[in-house]
Amino acid sequence: MPYKFLLLTTLLWTCCAQADGTAPTDRATVGKDTLARVTGSSGAKVVDSLQDIAPELGRWIVEFGYGEVVSRPQLDLRTRELATVAALTALGTAQLQLRAHINGALNVGCKPEEVVEVIMQMAVYAGFPASLNGIAQAKEVFAERGVKIHPEQ
Amino acid sequence: MPYKFLLLTTLLWTCCAQADGTAPTDRATVGKDTLARVTGSSGAKVVDSLQDIAPELGRWIVEFGYGEVVSRPQLDLRTRELATVAALTALGTAQLQLRAHINGALNVGCKPEEVVEVIMQMAVYAGFPASLNGIAQAKEVFAERGVKIHPEQ
Amino acid sequence: MPYKFLLLTTLLWTCCAQADGTAPTDRATVGKDTLARVTGSSGAKVVDSLQDIAPELGRWIVEFGYGEVVSRPQLDLRTRELATVAALTALGTAQLQLRAHINGALNVGCKPEEVVEVIMQMAVYAGFPASLNGIAQAKEVFAERGVKIHPEQ
Amino acid sequence: MPYKFLLLTTLLWTCCAQADGTAPTDRATVGKDTLARVTGSSGAKVVDSLQDIAPELGRWIVEFGYGEVVSRPQLDLRTRELATVAALTALGTAQLQLRAHINGALNVGCKPEEVVEVIMQMAVYAGFPASLNGIAQAKEVFAERGVKIHPEQ
Amino acid sequence: MPYKFLLLTTLLWTCCAQADGTAPTDRATVGKDTLARVTGSSGAKVVDSLQDIAPELGRWIVEFGYGEVVSRPQLDLRTRELATVAALTALGTAQLQLRAHINGALNVGCKPEEVVEVIMQMAVYAGFPASLNGIAQAKEVFAERGVKIHPEQ
Amino acid sequence: MPYKFLLLTTLLWTCCAQADGTAPTDRATVGKDTLARVTGSSGAKVVDSLQDIAPELGRWIVEFGYGEVVSRPQLDLRTRELATVAALTALGTAQLQLRAHINGALNVGCKPEEVVEVIMQMAVYAGFPASLNGIAQAKEVFAERGVKIHPEQ
């Protein structure tokens, strides 16, 4: 009777998955994959570091943040990461996460000059201190990665 | 002797313009042009409305904001506008300007779905209230412009 | 053969549901229920209003915000709503949502005096303007609901 | 024996008042006076409006905010109001209070050009949207008061 | 005549104290006591550290912050501290003070799981970076205090 | 023919300079001079540190920030620096820049007591954590400079 089981499994899974468009397993898998594409192994380390204090927060980052939001096909990862760098530079309250997403932007194929440009642009919308602090993060990330930048004036 | 004058004019202008790479006239012209591309006529109206109270602020927006920053060729206007929409959604303190840049994003060729996507993404980085308020602005802008959106779930 | 089908359904559902502890249907049901407990019908209206522009954002609010976070049993809804009122008062960038959660706090059983007290306390941590704007929202909510407050000095 | 009573009263009052440099009555009197100097009658109206919901918040504004902080002689009221206008413009979360302190700055003798200048300066430190929203408040305040400004370019 | 003096002292003190409900000495005593209950000895150390630069700021924290606001009986200290942890997590601009109030919450009897829960909840209202930075503070505080947490998923 | 050249140079320069009231060389010169007056040599070091990553951001700080905004004669540098200290204290997202402007305030002639006073005042408008963090910066700056403060209570 195994083929019936398989059939039913597939059938039920499909139903289940269609209940809201994404089954939990889906979200976790897509989330881990997207997290890895954006952050390499560093995102997973952050999630792991939450295990002994707030493991659900880590699960939400993977399944909701990366599995449901950032992985949506409506916008490419390069634009998403530049938008995130812009927002975190403007907010100025999340320097560690800004650093992670400067790395993320480079990981998904943004040129360092584009990352710098978005941070510079924030001087207009959030003031020079926000931009200066963002550039300081970029400078450290670029140094760590050995990235050479060719600023055009 | 007019030809000598022309020669000198050109020569001196070039020197002057090269002092920092952008002559004032340049910045004003480039700024006005970029402002018009991004905002249509509404940016110029904002600048005009400052004439009787803070005209220099208007000049800075044109010459510095659009003439020196936003017009730089290192990043295309579509990405710049999406980055600005992201930042203003996250900050949550500049709803009028967010609205202007939702319009700006559409003016420079972003799809409404991309604008919505960037605002939705901010739920992860700045919380749901920031995203909800951003979507409320987008909804009004789209209604004003008769924009139809085809959300994909 | 229906009983076998039922058996399998249950079995598979359990597997599926255990993948991450919450099946999608679960999250949606729990989320809708919690949203209704906190906001009455107004939260569902906000979610509905997103259908033609950003339906996923509405789904995330129900399934993630209320289905995964706010519904967790580790903290009672009264404390959660007071904490949210505190945070939104301090941020000062989400007056509509603050209003919704002042209503939410009352809906889950907080006394109006407690809501006012938390908003007043924010004067210490976020300054008097933040508190004053929070109280202005509370005043309107209380008037709408016909709530009488007995401030003790 | 009334004169002895008076003597003792005075004596004790002085002791009491010196316990921390300011007796409660002192603080209230100094606070009301300073509030009136800065806001005319509008500050008192705000305090009154709190009577039926959060009267202590109103008392704190008078006794702590104006009676203990703003009334200190270490800084003149003009500089204090310009500093407050700068901070509220930069924060961008308290437009009503910004408006009150634009009025306050004018009430204590700041020139409208100085108020505008401080708001414009915030473009550098908090971005153009913050400045633009501040100028919009100033424009309305100046119109209400019939203030003519002579911007120098 | 000493007994008359005592009588008068008591009488006058009462009058004085009733002028606004709290005499300065009252506020200082209540404030110091509440500060100690919430922060142990660390709050007093912060106040002491202000003596040579801004002693009044320290006095305001004791007399206004803790003596007038936090000590009010309308809300228990546990709820107050959780509300403060929520607000400081959401603001993201006061990590030292967030840390002090994570300690404060534990000092007044909150369970570490409740503190973590409130910080996690802020992901919904202020975004994941705010929550992650809050959890990082909690992790360090718990390690310093040897607090074991039993996260339930 | 050199005198004719000089004549023409002057003539053309004047035209060019009048295009928007400030020639680029002007802005750079005025900006560098104002930056030096406010920050001593530390501002120039910040600008230099941007050369290999975002040199234009450095140029904007000099030419726009200091050459066009901060150097305007409508407000004296002392008031400007106190306003900036107020704003950066209130924002709480730019501690390095706050420190630079605490130094800047002292450099342009503000008394340390005035700097402290403005930071203390922010407790009313942005909450005690903002003030406490501002005072911590001031304390370190004063220690570095050997500044003695005489707080009056």
pLDDT the model gives residue E33: 98
Structure letter (DSSP) for residue F116: H
Query: Residue D61: enclosing H or E segment and its boundaries?
Result: none
Angle at alpha carbon of residue E92, lines to E91 and E94, rounded to 5°: 95
pLDDT the model gives residue A151: 73
Q: Distance between CA C105 and CA C34 in Å, rounded?
A: 13
* 8 A C-beta contact, residue D42 and residue C138: no
Q: Provide the b/e sequence for A77-91 (b: ≥16 CB within 10 Å).
A: bebbbbbbbbbbbbb
What's the Rg (C-alpha) of chain D?
A: 19
pLDDT the model gives residue E152: 63
E29 touching D, CB under 8 A?
A: no
Sign of CA dihedral C108, C109, C113, C117: negative
Angle at alpha carbon of residue D27, lines to D23 and D32, rounded to 5°: 150
Residue A85 Cα to chain centre, angstroms: 10
Q: Which residues of C touch A20 (CB under 8 A)?
A: 24-25, 27-28, 59, 63
* 8 A C-beta contact, residue E86 and residue E50: no
Q: Are the Cβ atoms of C46 and B149 closer than 8 angstroms?
A: no
Nearest by CB: C83 against E113, E116, E121 = E121
> Who's near B2: CB < 8 A, 6+ residues apart?
none
Q: What is the mean pLDDT of residues F99-107?
A: 98
pLDDT the model gives residue C24: 61
- Lowest mean pLDDT, pick from A7-11, C21-25, E21-25: A7-11
pLDDT at B24 over 90: no
Among candidate residues D131, F98, B73, B87, the one with its CA nearest the CA of residue A133: F98
Q: Are the Cβ atoms of C127 and F123 closer than 8 angstroms?
A: yes
E60-119 per-position pLDDT tens digit: 999 999 999 999 999 999 999 999 999 999 999 999 999 999 999 999 999 999 999 999
Residues of chain A falling short of pLDDT 50: 1-2, 4-21
Q: Are the Cβ atoms of F52 and A151 closer than 8 angstroms?
A: yes
A147 touching F, CB under 8 A?
A: no
pLDDT the model gives residue D15: 37
Q: Which of D42, D49, D53, D98 to mutate to test the interface with C (most CBs of C within 10 A)?
A: D53
E120 touching C, CB under 8 A?
A: yes
- Lowest mean pLDDT, pick from C15-24, C118-127, C134-143, F105-114: C15-24
Nearest by CB: B91 against A80, A91, A124 = A91
D74-123 per-position pLDDT tens digit: 999 999 999 999 999 999 999 999 999 999 999 999 999 999 999 999 99
Place of tokens 């503000």: F110
* 8 A C-beta contact, residue D107 and residue D146: no
Q: Are the Cβ atoms of D53 and C91 closer than 8 angstroms?
A: no
* 8 A C-beta contact, residue C81 and residue C109: no
Taking the CA of residue D89 and the nearest CA in chain C, the distance in Å comes to 12
Q: What is the mean pLDDT of residues C76-81?
A: 98
> Who's near E18: CB < 8 A, 6+ residues apart?
none
Residue E94 Cα to chain centre, angstroms: 14
Q: Distance between CA C92 and CA C130 in Å, rounded?
A: 6
Q: Which residues of E touch B123 (CB under 8 A)?
A: 127
pLDDT the model gives residue B23: 60
Among all residues of chain B, which has the CA nearest to that of E132? B125
pLDDT the model gives residue F19: 41
pTM: 0.88
Burial of residue C111 (number of CB atoms within 10 Å: 0-12, 13-18, 19+): middle
Q: Are the Cβ atoms of F126 and C125 closer than 8 angstroms?
A: no
Q: Which of B85, B98, B132 to mutate to test the interface with C (most CBs of C within 10 A)?
A: B132
Q: Distance between CA B34 and CA B45 in Å, rounded?
A: 14
B124-141 per-position pLDDT tens digit: 999 999 999 999 999 999
- Helices D112-126 and D128-145 pack at an angle, to 10 degrees, of 160
pLDDT the model gives residue A16: 38
Taking the CA of residue C81 and the nearest CA in chain D, the distance in Å comes to 19
E23 touching D, CB under 8 A?
A: yes
C41 touching E, CB under 8 A?
A: no
Nearest by CB: E55 against F127, F133, F153 = F153
F36-51 per-position pLDDT tens digit: 999 999 999 999 999 9
Q: Give the confidence band of E24 by pLDDT, cuts at 50, 70, 90.
A: low
Q: Give the confidence band of B21 by pLDDT, cuts at 50, 70, 90.
A: very low
**DSSP labels for C86-115?**
HHHHHH-S-HHHHHHHHHHHHHTT--HHHH
Taking the CA of residue A21 and the nearest CA in chain C, the distance in Å comes to 9
Q: Which residues of B touch A80 (CB under 8 A)?
A: 118, 121
pLDDT the model gives residue D150: 80
Q: Which residues of B touch E89 (CB under 8 A)?
A: none
Among candidate residues E83, E63, E87, the one with its CA nearest the CA of residue E75: E83
Q: Distance between CA D14 and CA E102 in Å, rounded?
A: 41
Q: Which residues of F touch D86 (CB under 8 A)?
A: 83-84, 86-87
F107-142 per-position pLDDT tens digit: 999 999 999 999 999 999 999 999 999 999 999 999
- What's the number of CA atoms in the CB half-sphere (13 Å) around residue C116? 27
Q: What is the mean pLDDT of residues C36-47?
A: 97
Average pLDDT, chain B: 88
Residue type, D83: A
Q: Distance between CA E81 and CA C125 in Å, rounded?
A: 11
End-to-end CA separation in angstroms for chain C: 72
Taking the CA of residue C52 and the nearest CA in chain A, the distance in Å comes to 16
Q: Distance between CA C37 and CA C22 in Å, rounded?
A: 20
Q: What is the mean pLDDT of residues D13-29?
A: 58
Token output for D62: 């008078």
Interface of A with F in 52-91 (CB under 8 A): 91
pLDDT the model gives residue A24: 60
* 8 A C-beta contact, residue F108 and residue F38: yes
